[in-house]
Copies of this chain bind each other. A is one copy, B any other.
Amino acid sequence: MQEDRRLAVLRAIVEDYVHTEEPVGSKALVERHGLGVSPATVRNDMAVLEDEGYITQPHTSAGRVPTDKGYRMFVDRLTTVKPLSSAEKRAISSFLDGAVDLDDVVQRSVRLLSQLTRQVAVVQYPTLSRSTVRHVELVALAPRRLLVVLILSTGRVEQRLVELGEDLSDEALAELRHLVLRAVTGQTIAEAMTALRALPTPPDDPARPAPASGPVVEVLLDALSDDRSDHRIAVGGAANLARYGDSFDSAVRPLLEALEEHVVLLKLLGEAGTGGLVTVRIGAEGPYEELASTSVVSTGYGPPDESLATLGIVGPTRMDYPGTMAAVRAVARYVSRILDEA
């Protein structure tokens, strides 16, 4: 059936182009892939594919190049995620198993992912929202200066400095610590926040308004609000940008800029696809037109049914999607497992 062959041609074009980085012509196509037809037939198919918008020619009488739509079709219907080699699997687990804490897990993941895919890797730190408050510590650095340390069930530690308006005695500090601890330990982020809001200077005991509770609560709320922590991101493999070869200014420059703007990166990564689902966003499908020639392959990670955060890679639209998707999915799985164990 001709429809099938046309899709086979599309697939062959994508694979060849990703590999050679050059527009692919009808003759080369029949030679390198075992489609049992003549170049002329392929040409006819290509004409149709071009009409339908899956491929395009950089200029008349050059070979064909996939369009975003073509890649999309390829990803959606023409490829299956190819399993990683066992060597790769071994590399992943040995690489990640050595991690000592959450920070380390994230750092290693980013490195691993960038090496596996040879692209720029991005890993979002696990979001706080699902985690609970493990502990709060108040440390007096000076009479009027307090270090507030917040420890979460994910292992994340947030620290803030608080300047007080007045001196704080050891007893008052102990009391305050007790007060806060009782309010938040074991609670989820959301619960802890409402508990904290209900706290300050309880009116039923105005004789002993816990001094300094105001600023401390303030700072804890700030630390709990996902403002900053949700936005934490690790980036790695920027050296892979050097392989972009041509199209430097148009592609690499905006990407380099994006890599420093973590907010932009977060938006790029997009919503975490839950479960084993890998999201692929191709070229202009993304939110930034300066990044029209880059694709994002991402997925969520975390415990089986929910996803704590997102990880993925950013690369040129012309990339090895099956391999990349496999790597992203595999790393997400391993990271999830490790987080689950810890």
Residues of chain A at the chain B interface (Cβ within 8 Å)? 100-101, 134-135, 137, 139, 141, 147, 149, 151, 153, 155, 157, 159-161, 236-239, 241-242, 248-249, 252-253, 256-257, 259-260, 342
Instruction: Given A101-B160, A155-B147, A159-B101, decide whether A236 and B249 contact each other with a Cβ distance below 8 A.
Output: no
Instruction: Given A149-B157, A151-B139, A151-B147, decide whether A249 and B238 contact each other with a Cβ distance below 8 A.
Output: no
Chain B positions within 8 Å of A249 at CB level: 242
Beyond known contacts A137-B149, A139-B151, A239-B257: 14 more, CB 8 A cutoff: A100-B161, A134-B139, A135-B137, A135-B147, A147-B151, A147-B155, A149-B149, A157-B157, A161-B342, A236-B260, A238-B256, A239-B253, A239-B256, A242-B256
A230 CB, nearest partner CB in chain B, Å: 16
This chain's copy number in the assembly? 2
Q: By DSSP majority rule, is chain A's interface helix, strand, loop, or mixed?
A: mixed
Give Cα distance in the complex from A135 to B194, angstroms: 29
A180 CB, nearest partner CB in chain B, Å: 14
**Closest residue of B by beta carbon distance from A259:** B238
Give Cα distance in the complex from A135 to B237, angstroms: 36
Chain B positions within 8 Å of A242 at CB level: 248-249, 252-253, 256-257
Give Cα distance in the complex from A237 to B134, angstroms: 36
Chain B positions within 8 Å of A141 at CB level: 134, 153
Q: Is the CB of B161 within 8 A of A155?
A: yes
Give Cα distance in the complex from A101 to B228, angstroms: 13
Give Cα distance in the complex from A342 to B236, angstroms: 32
Q: Which of A159, A161, A259, A342 has the most CB atoms of chain B within a 10 A radius of its CB?
A: A159
Give Cα distance in the complex from A101 to B223, angstroms: 12
A184 CB, nearest partner CB in chain B, Å: 14
7 closest residue pairs by CB, A with B: A242-B253, A239-B256, A239-B257, A135-B139, A157-B159, A137-B137, A242-B256
Chain B positions within 8 Å of A260 at CB level: 236-239
Give Cα distance in the complex from A342 to B144, angstroms: 12
Give Cα distance in the complex from A141 to B153, angstroms: 8
Of B147, B161, B256, the residue contacting A241 (CB under 8 A) is: B256
Chain B positions within 8 Å of A161 at CB level: 100-101, 155, 342
Q: Is the CB of B159 within 8 A of A147?
A: no
A128 CB, nearest partner CB in chain B, Å: 16
Give Cα distance in the complex from A147 to B149, angstroms: 13
Give Cα distance in the complex from A253 to B259, angstroms: 17
A85 CB, nearest partner CB in chain B, Å: 25
Chain B positions within 8 Å of A100 at CB level: 160-161
Chain B positions within 8 Å of A239 at CB level: 253, 256-257, 259-260
A182 CB, nearest partner CB in chain B, Å: 16
A295 CB, nearest partner CB in chain B, Å: 20
**Closest residue of B by beta carbon distance from A242:** B253
